[in-house]
Amino acid sequence: MQRVHNVMEDAVTDLLQQQWSNLPASCHCDGCKADVYALTLNRLKPHYVRMPVGSMYVKAHLMTVQSRATILTALTESVKRVSADPHH
């Protein structure tokens, strides 16, 4: 079986790294960041591709203003949820 990859993971990772210090989190520890990452991925539709075939098209789509706004909204919602009930 050929290997597949969820390109949404890359998009969320990139945006989370760029925006983490700007997000309204009550805690910025690695555990809370990981919780936000996982919750965000669960809120978004996965985009599986065979590597590397197809990944460039999907990555380009995920870099549009609308897609980035959708991801940022999911990140913000996840931050609010994690901040309300941190697991530490």
AA letter at 69? A
Whole-angstrom distance, CA of residue 28 vs CA of residue 83: 9
- Torsion angles phi and psi, residue 28, rounded to 5: -115, 25
Domain count, the chain: 1
Contact 62, 8 (CB under 8 A): yes
Can you tell me whether residue 5 is helix, strand or coil?
strand
Which are the contacts of 76, defined by CB distance < 8 A and separation ≥ 6? 23, 24
**Residue 60: domain span:** 4-84
- With tokens 């949404």, the residue in question is 8
Give the per-residue pLDDT at 72.
Answer: 95
Question: pLDDT digit of tens for each residue in the chain (88 aa)?
Answer: 778 889 899 999 999 999 999 999 999 999 999 999 999 999 999 988 886 656 676 677 677 888 889 999 999 999 999 999 988 8
| pTM, to two decimals | 0.87
